[in-house]
Structure 1
């Protein structure tokens, strides 16, 4: 008998599994319906031998030294600062919008102070910022919103920015200097040997058994475990009894090219043209030397694996009803993006997983309780 079943071998499930196995000395069964570990961060060499991310680019960045310290137990790192260009009006321009973006787009020669004054003339005052459109037009004005944000957001979410919560575009800064890094976090780096190898080390513990290609629904009626950590979609756990929570999905087209480099930066966005939203070239991210290169085209979709919770008030209200059900579920902890219906970055998922384990450990006692009667209540997050 296992003490724990962990549903999902992505960041949330793997971190909690490692902590329970290492700190509590308890037996853990980790399952995943996919045939691999690492969740959406899964990377592997393609047919040409180029390391790619099967589910689109995953760039690690964080301001938390504690998160870096924890993950460094399972990987070494290579420094990497991600840069993104957007194809706008036939030009490749930096995104997030910065001083060079504005000067090149409009043929100006502003300095930082001049850009700030210019922005003051184009911003549209919004009495109450509630939507993604409100965020952008009140920051950079209507024209930059139309060129960089409106089309991209409509493709990504299948909704107009005026229909989405402000959180969607509030994540993207505007800079009046020439900083063209996509992120400004203290720690920006990639696992030296890839994410999959990091997960392999994390799950390599005598107290952890891993079963891949296994669906929780096929096991839940014949349990041989005491407690559960669930990281899948929370509405699926409850058989969608209150209705389905909306998600956006993605379709990935992986292409290998017989050239050393395909584009000048890791990712190029296409807000105005094409059906896809962006193209990523992985050798920028991994530092791999190879005579060929591989890129991924991303096509947003309304169907397929769930990737992004859709941030609208009615969806949050439905999630809260599922969260109330989860609070009454005995011996189950819910963690991760899908189980808590939040669009978390990787470091945020790790932080949530470590916090969840701390609550588990505090509630059950800080030492192993193998052989004791199992009991307790559900916890979300």
Structure 2
């Protein structure tokens, strides 16, 4: 008998489990269909002993002091500023996002100031009457040649759609800079968990009021466990039995390689925007972790239409379909929908933690602490 069932042991579920167990003193069962906690941020030593991320690189960054301070309860940090290079058709490696160095290397220019770079970009930019799509965002800022060089092929591979078919939010996430700042992120807090993400999650869930069951699917236990309230961090359409049809998601396939050499590439991630290259990027984990090891492990990422859901596809018709599920979620008592999949949002890790902490505040305001006289519910009473 549990006060809360939490489906999913990633950032959303683990953050709420810890808050509910610690602050409210209530009993929590956390389940995950995978064989580990941590969701997509799970990391582990591979056979060679190199600490790597099973689901591709996860780089923590945030401007939120509250999120950073909260996670600091469960980990020490290693300062890390992520850098990305893009490999062009002529073999050149240039910084991504586009900055002044990128322009100088591509065009053999000698742009010296931010004003020089801005003037060059403005000379390339093409006016767009209304910014609606991801193509509009880039073309209106840097022009068609830079758009085709860096964004069109990469986006087609990543999303299976042309940028002209995607919401403007996709490419709006990637800035264009006139300075020489070659960091991928510019957030106030840029760190990696010192002992890895998995160690952080295990500390977060190490509480006498929390029971964790991995390799456990919701459907397998819904008739066997009783609870009073629930947090769902899986796909919202799955919770409701795909009543209105499936929400589109993109997935990823990973090829992990351990190499008999100390380093493989010059930075943490190299992007491959050419459409005829099947993978989108290669990441090398020792840059992220700071680990000293005679071997190195890299991951090739291949976007896919099939597999575990990773990214909600940002198109207007998908948002219309999501709103039908959102209405069902809002009308479902005692179930809280949190996280990227449950709210169909393309969130970063820190945004998921912020959403979970905000959800906990709403729980505190709306839900009285559990009484011994409260009536438990069967898992079978919640979804389809």
What CA distance in whole angstroms lies between the structure 2 residues aligned with 1:372 and 1:183? 50
Query: Superposed, which structure 2 residues align to 1:244-255 within 5 Å?
Result: 244-255=246-257
Alpha-carbon distance change, 341 to 374 in structure 1, aligned in 2, over 3 angstroms: farther
Gaps of 5+ in 2: 378-384
Aligned to 1:93: 94
Structure 2 residue 370 is the aligned partner of structure 1 residue 369: yes
DSSP 3-state at the match of 1:183: coil
Structure 2 residue 367 is the aligned partner of structure 1 residue 355: no
Structure 2 residue 43 is the aligned partner of structure 1 residue 40: no
What CA distance in whole angstroms lies between the structure 2 residues aligned with 1:65 and 1:129? 32
What CA distance in whole angstroms lies between the structure 1 residues aligned with 2:176 and 2:161? 23
What CA distance in whole angstroms lies between the structure 2 residues aligned with 1:81 and 1:256? 23
The one-character-per-residue Cα deviations of 1:205-262 (angstroms, maximum 9, x if unpaired) are: 0000000111111222334111110000000001101000000000000000000000
What CA distance in whole angstroms lies between the structure 2 residues aligned with 1:318 and 1:302? 18
Structure 2 residue 23 is the aligned partner of structure 1 residue 2: no
Aligned to 1:103: 104
Aligned to 2:172: 170
The one-character-per-residue Cα deviations of 1:163-204 (angstroms, maximum 9, x if unpaired) are: 000000001111111100000000000000000000000000
Whether the 8 Å CA contact 2:3–2:370 is kept in 1: the answer is: no
TM-score, scaled to structure 2: 0.96
What is the CA-CA distance between 1:328 and the residue it aligns to? 1.4
What is the aligned-residue RMSD (CA, Å)?
A: 1.1
What CA distance in whole angstroms lies between the structure 2 residues aligned with 1:354 and 1:153? 32
Aligned to 2:382: none
Structure 2 residue 117 is the aligned partner of structure 1 residue 115: yes
Aligned to 2:217: 215
DSSP 3-state at the match of 2:78: strand
Aligned to 1:379: none
1:277 to 266, 277, 280: 280
What CA distance in whole angstroms lies between the structure 2 residues aligned with 1:115 and 1:335? 42
What CA distance in whole angstroms lies between the structure 2 residues aligned with 1:375 and 1:139? 56
Query: Superposed, which structure 2 residues align to 1:303-314 within 5 Å?
Result: 303-314=306-317
The one-character-per-residue Cα deviations of 1:130-159 (angstroms, maximum 9, x if unpaired) are: 000000000010000000000000000000
DSSP 3-state at the match of 1:343: coil
DSSP 3-state at the match of 2:223: coil
The one-character-per-residue Cα deviations of 1:256-299 (angstroms, maximum 9, x if unpaired) are: 00000000100000001410000000000000000000000000
Whether the 8 Å CA contact 2:31–2:214 is kept in 1: the answer is: yes
Whether the 8 Å CA contact 2:226–2:376 is kept in 1: the answer is: no
What is the CA-CA distance between 1:375 and the residue it aligns to? 9.3
What CA distance in whole angstroms lies between the structure 1 residues aligned with 2:278 and 2:43? 25
Whether the 8 Å CA contact 2:264–2:284 is kept in 1: the answer is: yes
Aligned to 1:318: 321
Aligned to 1:243: 245
TM-score, scaled to structure 1: 0.97
Moved more, 90-99 or 112-121: 112-121
What is the CA-CA distance between 1:374 and the residue it aligns to? 5.4
What is the CA-CA distance between 1:87 and the residue it aligns to? 0.2
What CA distance in whole angstroms lies between the structure 2 residues aligned with 1:339 and 1:143? 37
Instruction: Count residues with an aligned counterpart.
Output: 374
